[in-house]
């Protein structure tokens, strides 16, 4: 069984009928590549960290190209296709040949999934019925608010009533996961409450709340902060409280990203599973594990329980996958072990990281940890607790093995522990 990805291309903002006010890609010009684990050792910048992280396409791909590529993929597929997903840098609902494409994909007779849409390209609510007829089974749909005026103003949706009608029809017929980027003072409070109730009544499977980011340390790494001057994003703690509170008052599944999934106990649900933790190898190597501010306390506590020979060092950046060289510059190298583990997806070139982290004259080796240690609310929405626990078990297994393989022999210097995780310039 396999998934067939159908990439329609497109540019965020430009192929979505204009930028949403909160779009992560707004104001991105042409920043220098950040570097990543995929870069060649002698060259900072590769296709992934130059083009893919910016969703940089030339525009929507011609329908003929997309159809031919899909056919070619089908011809070489070795497994039965059990899911077809339409994705792209732009918004699929704005793809000029969207309905033709859906009609062609229906012939595959596998459940169709739209990975993400804002719905701004839908100008006729009857499209919902046609999509269902053609096998659409799951869709992630940005709603922002059930108030059409707010959708028009903040998403620049020219036909917000139609988009909301499409959401309502799809939510009653298929698995619809709605998403809301929470802008404090605009679509939180009573507006959010009404939006959640409206979605629940319509039959939505879930609601993913996304904390708005407006500053580099919150995740705007493409030189485009602030997106909305004057809007103060919520702290991670108050956002998590909002998610917990809203979830407690609704039957529909509600998660938040970066924190939390109240139904599954993630991120790091494994902290409440001592039997699973007991299955992991013990830590024997000494290393510093650099991570983001959100994951740090969870990870420090887990590594302590696994043997405590590795220290967790939090940077100011809240999301580990978005750590860049700037974050490493803020660390005090003298507080680090000789071996430093960086998150697999951190956007920094390994050679550059080693130079920054050795700037006190002590040579340090940088190794990469796993890409994912847990599931954020966006990822966990389509999962159950077993799936999340398996992901966490696998991630921690690889992390512990990486530390034990590359770290210096442990000598009882127990520097990890809850409350002991150190932060740049504050240790
Ligand atoms: S629809 Fe999505 S990608 Fe397009 S501008 Fe809005 S937030 Fe950005």
pLDDT, one tens digit per residue, over 155-177 is 999 999 999 999 999 999 999 99
Whether ligand 1 lies within 6 angstroms of the CB of 118 is answered as yes
pLDDT at 50: 87
Any domain includes 262: no
pLDDT 10s digits, 370-401: 999 999 999 999 899 999 999 999 999 999 99
Q: How many CB atoms lie within 10 A of CB 294?
A: 20
Whether ligand 1 lies within 6 angstroms of the CB of 12 is answered as yes
The SS3 of residue 12 is: coil
Residues 274 and 212 in one domain: no
* Average pLDDT of the residues in 200-223: 95
Q: How many CB atoms lie within 10 A of CB 362?
A: 12
Residue 81's Cβ-count burial label (10 Å; 0-12, 13-18, 19+) is middle
Q: In Å, how far from its chain's centre is CA 281?
A: 28
* Average pLDDT of the residues in 11-33: 90
Q: Tell me how far the alpha carbon of residue 115 lies from the centroid of ligand 1, in angstroms.
A: 13
| Banded pLDDT at 32 (limits 50, 70, 90) | confident
Residues 32 and 118 in one domain: yes
- For residues 106 and 256, give the distance between their C-alpha atoms in angstroms, rounded to a whole number: 32
> Ligand 1, atom 3: nearest CA belongs to which residue?
12
| Single pTM value for the model | 0.91
394-425 as b/e, with b when 16 or more CB fall inside 10 Å? ebbebbbebbbebbeebeeeebbeeebbbbbe
Whether ligand 1 lies within 6 angstroms of the CB of 116 is answered as no
Domain total in the chain = 2
- The H or E element that residue 389 is part of is helix 385-406
Q: Which atom of ligand 1 is nearest to the CA of 19?
A: 5
Residues 43 and 170 in one domain: yes
Any domain includes 329: yes
pLDDT 10s digits, 35-66: 999 999 999 999 999 888 777 778 999 999 99
* Residues ≥6 apart with Cβ < 8 Å to 41: 350, 351
Residue 392's Cβ-count burial label (10 Å; 0-12, 13-18, 19+) is buried
Domain stop point among 190, 225, 257 = 257
Is the pLDDT at 200 greater than 90, yes or no?
yes
Any domain includes 228: yes
Q: Which atom of ligand 1 is nearest to the CA of 25?
A: 8
Residues 185 and 288 in one domain: no
In the chain, the percentage of residues whose pLDDT exceeds 70 is: 96
| Banded pLDDT at 425 (limits 50, 70, 90) | very low
Residue 156 belongs to a domain with what CATH number?
3.20.20.70
Of 237, 261, 265, nearest to 247 by C-alpha is 261
Is the pLDDT at 261 greater than 90, yes or no?
yes
pLDDT 10s digits, 184-196: 999 999 999 999 9
Whether ligand 1 lies within 6 angstroms of the CB of 91 is answered as yes
What the block records as the tokens of 161 is 């009533």
Whether ligand 1 lies within 6 angstroms of the CB of 23 is answered as yes
Q: Which atom of ligand 1 is nearest to the CA of 22?
A: 7
User: Which domain, by its residues, includes 355?
Assistant: 269-423
> Rounded to 5 degrees, what angle do the CA atoms 364, 366, 370 make?
150
In the chain, the percentage of residues whose pLDDT exceeds 90 is: 87
| Banded pLDDT at 118 (limits 50, 70, 90) | very high
Residues 315 and 244 in one domain: no
* Average pLDDT of the residues in 21-40: 90
Q: Which atom of ligand 1 is nearest to the CA of 55?
A: 3
Residues 379 and 412 in one domain: yes
Q: Tell me how far the alpha carbon of residue 79 lies from the centroid of ligand 1, in angstroms.
A: 33
Mean of per-residue pLDDT scores for the chain: 93
> Ligand 1, atom 7: nearest CA belongs to which residue?
23
Residues 308 and 195 in one domain: no
| Banded pLDDT at 343 (limits 50, 70, 90) | very high
* Average pLDDT of the residues in 103-111: 93
Q: Tell me how far the alpha carbon of residue 19 lies from the centroid of ligand 1, in angstroms.
A: 6
Q: How many CB atoms lie within 10 A of CB 82?
A: 11
Calculate the CA dihedral of residues 323, 327, 328, 334 and round it to 10 degrees: -130
Can you say whether the dihedral through the CA atoms of 378, 379, 381, 385 is positive or negative?
A: negative
């Amino acid at each position: 069984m396999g998934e067939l990805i159908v990439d329609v291309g497109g540019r965020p903002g430009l192929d979505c009928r204009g930028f949403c006010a909160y779009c992560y890609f707004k104001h991105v010009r042409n920043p220098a590549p950040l570097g990543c684990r995929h870069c060649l050792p002698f060259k900072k910048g590769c296709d992934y960290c130059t083009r893919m992280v910016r969703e940089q396409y030339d525009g929507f791909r011609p329908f003929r190209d997309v159809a031919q590529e899909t056919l070619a993929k089908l011809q070489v597929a070795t497994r039965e296709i059990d899911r077809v997903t339409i994705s792209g840098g732009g918004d699929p609902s704005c793809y000029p040949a969207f309905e033709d494409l859906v009609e062609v994909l229906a012939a595959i007779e596998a459940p169709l999934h739209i990975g993400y849409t804002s719905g701004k390209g839908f100008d006729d609510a009857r499209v919902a019925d046609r999509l269902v007829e053609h096998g659409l089974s799951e869709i992630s749909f940005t709603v922002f608010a059930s108030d059409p005026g707010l959708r028009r103003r903040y998403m620049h949706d020219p036909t917000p009533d139609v988009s909301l009608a499409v959401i309502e029809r799809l939510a009653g017929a298929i698995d619809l996961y709605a998403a809301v980027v929470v802008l404090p003072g605009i679509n939180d409070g009573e507006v959010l409450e009404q939006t959640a109730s409206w979605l629940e009544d319509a039959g939505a499977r879930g609601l993913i709340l996304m904390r708005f980011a407006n500053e580099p340390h919150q995740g705007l790494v493409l030189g485009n902060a602030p997106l909305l001057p004057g809007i103060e994003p919520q702290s991670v703690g108050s956002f998590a409280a909002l998610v917990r509170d809203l979830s407690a008052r609704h039957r529909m599944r509600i998660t938040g990203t970066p924190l939390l999934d109240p139904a599954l106990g993630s991120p790091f649900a494994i902290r409440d599973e001592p039997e699973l933790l007991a299955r992991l190898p013990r830590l024997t190597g000494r290393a510093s594990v650099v991570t983001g501010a959100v994951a740090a306390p969870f990870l420090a506590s887990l590594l302590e329980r696994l043997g405590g020979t590795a220290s967790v060092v939090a940077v100011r950046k809240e999301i580990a996958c978005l750590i860049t060289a700037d974050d490493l510059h803020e660390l005090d190298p003298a507080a680090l072990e000789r071996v430093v583990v960086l998150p697999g997806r951190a956007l920094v070139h390994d050679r550059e990281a080693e130079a920054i982290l050795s700037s006190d004259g002590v040579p340090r080796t940088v190794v990469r940890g796993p890409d994912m240690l847990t599931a954020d609310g966006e990822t966990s929405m389509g999962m159950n607790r077993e799936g999340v626990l398996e992901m966490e078990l696998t991630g921690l297994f690889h992390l512990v093995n990486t530390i034990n393989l590359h770290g210096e022999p442990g000598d009882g210097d127990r520097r990890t522990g809850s409350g002991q995780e150190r932060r740049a310039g504050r240790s």
